[in-house]
């Protein structure tokens, strides 16, 4: 992976974006240490996955959810799928009423 100082990225962001799309990820460095990665998503879904994977707020939500499940506050698999099915039926009724 190519490493480029942040000052160089600031000077020619457009050029590095093109290079990234053609050649792959670029490590952005400051004082020789990687501070960010410039990487091309494969598609919109990949971009969303990457953004969520590194979202501090989303990771905190997942952590709280895991703790809740460990504490016995989650739904059993059967109850989960029952709730999904109920939600689907409610959506069908709502769309039929329009």
pTM above 0.95, yes or no: no
Distance CA 78, CA 69 (A): 15
Beta-bridged to residue 26, according to DSSP, are 2, 38
The model's pLDDT over 43-97, given as tens digits with 9 standing for 90+, comes to: 999 999 999 998 999 999 999 988 988 898 888 888 889 989 998 888 887 777 6
User: Going from the N-terminus, what domains does the chain have, and what CATH number goes with each?
Assistant: 2-96 (3.40.1620.10)
Measured between its terminal Cα atoms, the distance across the chain in Å is 54
Per-residue pLDDT at 79: 87
């Amino acid at each position: 992976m190519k490493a480029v100082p942040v000052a160089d990225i600031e000077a020619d962001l457009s050029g590095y974006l093109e290079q990234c799309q053609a050649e792959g990820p670029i490590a952005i460095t400051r004082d020789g240490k990687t501070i960010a990665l410039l990487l091309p998503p494969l598609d919109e879904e990949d971009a969303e996955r990457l953004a969520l994977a590194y979202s501090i707020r989303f990771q905190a939500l997942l952590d709280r959810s895991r703790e809740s499940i460990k504490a016995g506050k989650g739904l059993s698999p059967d109850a989960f799928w029952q709730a999904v099915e109920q939600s689907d039926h409610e959506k069908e009724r709502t769309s039929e009423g329009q």
